Amino acid sequence: MSGGLPGFVFRLFRLVWRLIDGARRVVLNLVLLIAILALIVALARPGPSVPDGAALLVRPAGSLVEQSVSDPSFAFLAGDDEEETALPDLLEAVRAARDDPRIGLLVLETDDLESAGLSKLGELRAAVADFKAAGKPVLARGERYSQAQYYLASIADEVHLAPDGYAMIRGFARYPTYYGNALATLGVKIHTFRAGEYKSAIEPFTRANMSDEDREATRLLLGGLWDRFRKDIVAARRLDAARFDSYVQTYHDALKAAGGDNAKTARDGGFVDRLSTRGQWYAAIRERLGETGDGEDFRHIGSGDYLSAIRRARAKAPAHIAVLVAQGAIIDGNQQPGGVGGDSLASLIREAREDGKVKAVVIRIDSPGGSAWASEVVRNELELTRRVKPVVASMSSVAASGGYWIAAGANEILAEPATITGSIGVFGMFPEFTEPMGRLGLTVDGVGTGPFSGALDPRQPLSPEAGATLQLSTEHTYRRFLDIVAQARKMKPEEVDRIARGRVWSGAEAVEIGLVDRLGGLDAALAAAAGRANLRHYTVTWPTPQLPPMRRVLQQLLATGDAAAPSPASQVVNRLSADIKALMSWNDPRHVYAHCLCDAP
């Protein structure tokens, strides 16, 4: 009896295992079958067509980025519905629609836009302004306007707002979270090494407040960006500058005069033209298009479908300009899109250099920097490339510190007026966990073959010799940074040092001090690259690290999710998580970083 019990348990376990294994096979086969069916349907379904006299509907969702990096297949499985919209796609659609006789109107709906850098919005506004210049009207509406949403909508001929909405213009701010006291309470000691008094990226981990140098630099930077934001809206809305200032500075008084009605306050202030429900909004669009009827439909095509239609009809030119995107923190090694892997981006540059069809390269940078080692790996590949074909750097919202280091490898650098750049400085940072380990009763002991054998072990105190070594390495890397910029910009190292030291500049200021050649967006960078390569007709390609085939199928199959504004609590948690994630990703082999603690407003 007792001898039969183990056998029964074994047979039961084997049965359960077979059931689990069978279920796994069924699930995998179902996923594969669904993927095959989706692929067949996609191939069999005719592509979208552009109706005559239609409106182009531009409805950016989630974050406005240079290159969409969300992986909906895995985000779906994880319950994450974060969405992104690629700025180049919107620019291409609006530029094409400007000259397309089938498109008679541009409709902007901003409700799903969560975040976007000022320079990205500026590029999109410029494309919309060109659309208007072709004699085609632009209508925009929001249920309520965040500052970024309103900046985009303000370029329209007619701006609508929901009767219960608002248009909140608060100004620009930068308030980092400082972890110095928390780390000290935990007993974590952060050793820092810095070259450049304005290099503030390490301060959140060592201080409880903003340094005087960082406060001064931030005040000047935000002041310049705010001035551009203000001038753009004043010009687009034909407002008196004093009226704009009054709306921002004394909003409470204006709201009180309107009986607490935010929408009426925005209309009375001249910031919106009409208050409309959704039904009234769609009726206004149909009126512009010459349509009759009711409901929420009107003759239109979305920007994504429009791109599919026009790209299918275009003839491909044999000459290519490759646009390589450096988006996110610069990290040593290989990374998927969304982070700049030194090795993976260098590999793409090398492939573009060796591809005979590629006649020029545009490196599109949207990065605050990161690993100095990885930045140099990328810059070196760009320098090798520009010896055989033109390389143009196009700066997006942020191209600072390591981002500028990369740009120095190009023949020419272009930036938007609101681009955040510069931050030419270097820091090193090394954490020490001896005290919190001691509180837990954990000790470290052993032997080494030399004085530096265990020098960079965070479980042990950092020796004075190791600290001095890291400081020497930091200072050397800074001098190397100065030399690279001096050579690229045809300046003397001491001249670069006067505008470096970690100081951050706007794109407009960077042109004045010689760090950037001229102002312009992605279109201007492509034109510059084409001019240098003597190209009249060319195809723009966007090489990226390739995902495995099944993952690409799932990404297309399971794309889903609507953008929604995060709650205040989630904003705090997300910000703290982002800070910790960024810190954990710093993997420079020498612990030396060219990173800018700067966010595009």
- Sequence spans of domains, the chain: 54-173+215-311, 315-442+455-595
The domain made up of 54-173+215-311 has a fold known as 2-enoyl-CoA Hydratase; Chain A, domain 1 (3.90.226)
> What separation in angstroms does the CA of 408 have from each of 214, 405, 411, 531?
25, 5, 8, 20
Active-site residue (options: 120, 189, 199, 389): 199
Amino acid (1-letter code) at residue 514:
G
Closest CA to 222 of 506, 514, 595: 506
The Cα–Cα gap between 274 and 285 comes to 13
What 3-state DSSP class applies to 92?
helix
Bridge partners for 62 per DSSP: 113
Which class for 370: exposed (0-12), middle (13-18), buried (19 or more C-beta within 10 A)? buried
- 401 flagged as catalytic: yes
**What pLDDT, on a 0 to 100 scale, did the predictor assign at position 569?**
44
Angle at the Cα of 210 (from 207 to 215), degrees rounded to 5? Answer: 155
φ, ψ of residue 596 in degrees (nearest 5): -110, 125
Beta strands in 143-299 (DSSP E): 158-161, 189-195, 274-275
**What pLDDT, on a 0 to 100 scale, did the predictor assign at position 553?**
46
**What pLDDT, on a 0 to 100 scale, did the predictor assign at position 481?**
95
Question: Fold identical between 54-173+215-311 and 315-442+455-595?
Answer: yes
**What pLDDT, on a 0 to 100 scale, did the predictor assign at position 430?**
85
**What pLDDT, on a 0 to 100 scale, did the predictor assign at position 598?**
67
Closest CA to 459 of 490, 436, 483: 436
Closest CA to 429 of 225, 179, 154: 179
Contact 59, 306 (CB under 8 A): no
The Cα–Cα gap between 593 and 487 comes to 21
> Dihedral of the CA atoms 548, 550, 556, 560 (nearest 10)?
-100
The Cα–Cα gap between 71 and 345 comes to 19
- 256 flagged as catalytic: no
User: Hey, what are 35's tokens?
Assistant: 């993927």
**What pLDDT, on a 0 to 100 scale, did the predictor assign at position 20?**
77
Mean pLDDT (10-residue bins), the chain, 601 residues: 55 71 71 65 64 94 85 44 87 96 97 94 97 97 96 98 95 92 91 84 90 91 94 96 94 94 96 96 92 78 93 84 95 81 95 97 95 94 97 97 96 97 90 89 87 83 88 92 96 96 94 97 97 95 69 43 43 54 60 65 66
The Cα–Cα gap between 450 and 576 comes to 39
What 3-state DSSP class applies to 302?
strand
Contact 367, 398 (CB under 8 A): yes
- Distance of alpha carbon 442 from the chain centroid: 42
Around Cβ 270, how many Cβ atoms within 10 Å?
15
**What pLDDT, on a 0 to 100 scale, did the predictor assign at position 6?**
59
**What pLDDT, on a 0 to 100 scale, did the predictor assign at position 149?**
97
Around Cβ 100, how many Cβ atoms within 10 Å?
18
Closest CA to 335 of 321, 350, 325: 325
What 3-state DSSP class applies to 147?
helix
Helix 87-98 crosses helix 303-313 at what angle (to 10 degrees)? 70
Q: In what order do the strands lie in the sheet with 113-115?
A: 84-86, 62-65, 113-115
Contact 288, 137 (CB under 8 A): yes
Active-site residue (options: 367, 397, 401, 506): 401
CATH architecture of the domain covering 315-442+455-595: Alpha-Beta Complex (3.90)
Contact 213, 198 (CB under 8 A): yes
**What pLDDT, on a 0 to 100 scale, did the predictor assign at position 78?**
41
Helices (H) and strands (E) in the chain, counts: 22, 23
**What pLDDT, on a 0 to 100 scale, did the predictor assign at position 260?**
95
The Cα–Cα gap between 288 and 520 comes to 33
The Cα–Cα gap between 175 and 361 comes to 37
Amino acid (1-letter code) at residue 427:
F
In terms of phi and psi (left: phi > 0; alpha: psi -120 to 50; beta: otherwise), the region of 18 is: alpha
Which class for 81: exposed (0-12), middle (13-18), buried (19 or more C-beta within 10 A)? middle
